[in-house]
Structure 1
Amino acid sequence: MSTPTQQPSALNVGVPNLPYFTPAHIANPGTPTQISADTPTLFTPLKIRSKTLRNRIIVAPMCQYSTAAFGPDIGKLTDWHVATLGHYAIKGAALVIIEATGVQPNGRISPNCPGLWSDEQIAGVRRVSDFVKSQGALSGIQLAHAGRKASSSASWVAAAVETKRPTVRSDRDVGGWPDDVVGPMGGLEETWDGKGLAEDGIFWPPRQLSVAEVQQVVKAFGESARRAVEAGIDVIEIHAAHGYLIHQFLSPVTNRRTDQYGGSFENRTRLLVEIIQSIRAHIPDTTPLFLRVSSTEWLEGTAPAEKWGSWDVESTIQLARLLPSLGVDFLDVSSGGNHPLQRVNMFASKDYQIKIANQIRQAIKAADLKLLIGAVGLITEPEQARDIVEDGHAHAHGVDRSIGEEAAAANELTDAKGGKEPLADAILVARQFLREPEWVLKVAWKLGVDVAWPNQFLRVRFPKL
């Protein structure tokens, strides 16, 4: 009698602990087949607390305006999020961050934005997170409160109404909350565009949060972080940029309160500090915590800045020095979004934020602090991405090391000892992934790095250059 041989189908092993079958990849997509001294830093791993990114390319949060605005499914992630975010993970991104997710119902940017203010919303997040992680990527979520920029709409809704407006107000009939838009300050004059209730305005006037309500916001961030961890999320990011609520509190232009949450730098940063503390109290010590900030408001020389001052790069550096002791691991450096008079075209430069990220990184290094820095903004080209994070010493002695060994070595990135030093420690890419979900694989090919592809796509793998 012949001995039975193993059937080929038995080699097609599924990812464990999922309620459905999806094949485990032979090697996680986007991971170099071998790391040597010639491997670009972009394709070396990065360890943050207990988590390891398989490369330095992160999918930045991108609003999709694709959740229910009413009923039992309000704010819940859907198959759209599994399909889009999951695809970036399939194609090799190291970390995929779910879009700005409201910690309170009135903290959503629009009625169709996701939320995590209820335990009922955990399952949808878990479904996305499980699939992203099944492809070898880390899952992240950006927790947010839109403040005075809340109850707006998707850009395509605005385009259908008025082509020149980036957004329009969402009223009650579409799930909006015009009477519960909030901010550090209140009144018609505190509307983002300064137009109050004028017909051509794009945001609702906010009402001022009471101290008790501010403290409820702090609690809401902590509770949402706890839910994220329950949903299996690996990395949490706090959204303190782009003119949303935390940014509004940081800036003297939008925060002229006279209580403990306004006035001095210490008072204006108090909300953020308390949110960080609340989140860290609700998540394991092993969970990485990211923070996205607008490093500058680009208001220098404008009337608001002349009158009140503004949040600028020096303010961000001062804040950054506080972050390591608070338990923040990674600073995601963006800019702008808090005032219509900002003096920069956000879509016309490919390096303005990258230069600022490097300036902050150098200041952190000079202070002998440990804080990883992320660069974001119009990163589209392989060579551009490579050069932002290239470190001549991060893996110079890493010839033929395993992924685990290389990740351990990369953990000391902020200690570059001469030679070529990175401008940032990782890059965050958004719109380019919308154009090319396979961007990680394409970048590797263009840079001559042999990386793993998903099993199901091996037959169409790019040929070696």
Structure 2
Amino acid sequence: MSALFSPITIRSIQLKNRIVVSPMCQYSSENGFANDWHLVHLGSRAVGGAALIFTEATAVSPEGRISPHDLGIWKDDHIAGLKRITQFINQHGSIAGIQLAHAGRKASHHRPWDGGKAIPPAEERGWETVAPSSIPFIEAEPRPLALTKEGIENVLIDFQDAARRAVEAGFQVAEIHAAHGYLLHEFLSPLSNQRTDEYGGSFDNRIRLLLQVIEQVQAVWPEEYPLFVRISATEWTEGGWTADDSVALASVLKTKGVDVIDCSSGGNVAHAKIPVGPGYQVEFAERVKQEAGIMTAAVGLITHVDQAEAILANGQADFVLLGREFLRDPYFPLHAAHALGDDIIWPSQYERAKPK
């Protein structure tokens, strides 16, 4: 059996292989509701053999959405649509995961295919954004409101309530989104967090909100279910969050009961020079895994079977998360198993097409 198709158990959850569908924004919701698009998009990856399938960044509050079309879990009415999806994923031998997110100062934007620009609060479908400090992501955009202590308490409540709803909806893995320049990452970074209270300044202060979010989520998240945290392992910018910071954070998160660190990068500096290329973020997953002693997931332009197998076989990460490649090929795991000579179970409906 290849490394890519070796099963692994995290807490009580067994994953049949190491291939994970990375959270990918679809911008296809109205008022946060999951619909047929989400069922087919996520369900087809279950049919395709992925072990773990994450939803897109799912907003814990209306103001936490990147766009008015983001998936949401801020009210009980959202549960039924999401449960329909988790049931389908489970029926096909995969595990359903949810990424809980708050977009912070990067909220209230048009969808990419609608131009992607910020929607001012005064415009229809726009709203006031929040952040650790009143610093916009791009200077020309509206300035966010610096969160008050009351605002921070509301964020903590929103994450806990969202986690409770996620359990009711049938998710068995949760990932807290603390990357890509969204709210929790904004608190981590000295570039976006210029607070002078207990949430700003020192490393310990800047990671405080993330630790509190984890604590709130764990209060309602079943102990037998895994918890991931996605981080931007570096901001690729002088004076920003670094790989050293990520190792230090991961070491703390391990003591707090986090199971896996999902290692992405960037997103908090508009014009950062990022050396994008095949597997360009794998080094961070490897370093965090080795130095913090915690399981990691590698993500970022992982597109080929041999590339994914090598990452795992060389011990650089415990999982590979694919995004764009899964958009191109929902059945990547089925094709990968054939390429590696692994005999895996195909859906009964597709069995007659299985290569011999």
Asked if Structure 1 and Structure 2 have the same fold, meaning a TM-score greater than 0.5 normalized by the shorter chain, the answer is yes
Task: Give the deviation of 1:63 after TM superposition.
Answer: 0.3
Counterpart pick for 1:207 among 135, 138, 145: 145
Partner of 2:277: 349
Task: Tell me whether 379-388 or 445-454 shows the greater mean CA deviation.
Answer: 445-454
- The CA distance in 2 between the partners of 1:450 and 1:225, in whole Å, is 36
Deviation at 1:352, TM superposition (A): 2.2
Structure of higher CA gyration radius? 1
Q: Secondary structure at the match of 1:378?
A: coil
Displacement after TM superposition at 1:451 (Å): 1.2
Percent identity, aligned pairs only, is 45
CA contact (8 A) 2:21 2:52 kept: yes
* Candidates 101, 121, 146, aligned match of 2:103: 146
Separation of aligned partners in 1, 2:79 and 2:123: 26
**How does 1:121-200 map onto structure 2 within 5 Å?**
121-158=78-115, 167-171=116-120, 174-177=124-127, 180-186=128-134, 190-196=135-141
Letter paired with 1:51: I
Which whole-Å deviations, capped at 9, do the CAs of 1:160-192 have from their partners, x for residues lacking one?
xxxxxxx21235655221xx2110111xxx211
Distance 2:195 2:280 in 1: 31
* Runs (4+) off by over 6 Å: none
C-alpha RMSD over aligned residues: 1.1
Counterpart in 2 of 1:240? 178
Conservation of the 8 A alpha-carbon contact between 2:49 and 2:334: yes
User: Of residues 289, 292, 297 in structure 1, which corresponds to 2:230?
Assistant: 292
Match of 1:329 in 2: 259
* Counterpart Cα distance in 2 of 1:174 and 1:438: 40
Greater RCO (Cα-Cα under 8 Å, separation 6 or more): 1
- State the match for 1:377 in structure 2: 300
Query: Could you say which residue in structure 1 is the equivalent of 2:334?
Result: 441
Cα distance in 1 for residues equivalent to 2:323 and 2:171:
19
**Shift, 1:325, TM fit:** 1.7
Q: Does 1:260 align with 2:180?
A: no
**8 Å Cα contact 1:299-1:341 kept in structure 2:** no
Residue 212 of structure 1 and its aligned partner are, at CA, apart by 1.2
Letter of the 2:242 partner, please give it. D
Give TM-score scaled by structure 1 length.
Answer: 0.75
The answer to whether structure 1 residue 60 and structure 2 residue 22 are counterparts is yes
Cα distance, 1:205 vs structure 2: 2.1
Work out the CA distance in 2 between the residues paired with 1:462 and 1:430: 25
Q: Is the 8 A contact 1:111 1:170 kept in 2?
A: no
Tell me the SS of whatever aligns to 1:82: helix
Unaligned runs of 5+ in 1: 1-38, 69-73, 159-166, 197-203, 366-370, 391-420
SS for the counterpart of 1:449 is coil
Amino acid at match of 1:445: H
Structure 2 residue runs without a partner (length 5+): none
Counterpart residue type for residue 181 of structure 1: T
The residue number in structure 2 matching 1:417 is none
SS at match of 1:375: strand
* Contact 2:160-2:216 at 8 Å conserved across structures: yes
In the alignment, the residues of structure 1 paired with residue 19 and residue 76 of structure 2 have an alpha-carbon distance, to the nearest angstrom, of 31
Aligned with 1:237: secondary structure? strand
Counterpart contact for 2:248–2:292, Cα < 8 Å: no
SS at match of 1:434: helix
Matches within 5 A, 1:94-113: 94-113=51-70
Question: Distance in 1 between the 2:286 and 2:312 partners?
Answer: 10
2:312 to 389, 394, 398: 389
Q: Does 1:313 align with 2:248?
A: no
Are 1:45 and 2:10 counterparts? no
Q: How far does the alpha carbon of each residue in 1:28-54 deviate from its partner, in whole angstroms, 9 at most, with x for none? A: xxxxxxxxxxx1111011101110111
- Asked if 1:358 corresponds to 2:286, the answer is yes
Q: Helix, strand or coil: the match of 1:331?
A: strand
The letter for the 2-side match of 1:105 is P
* Distance of 1:316 and 1:45 partners within structure 2: 27
d(CA) in 1 for partners of 2:338 and 2:87?
Answer: 28
SS in 2 for 1:42: coil
Paired AA for residue 194 in structure 2: R
SS at match of 2:231: strand
State the one-letter code of the partner of 1:194: E
SS at match of 1:458: helix
Deviations 1:332-361 (A, max 9, x none): 00000001131214xx31122101111111
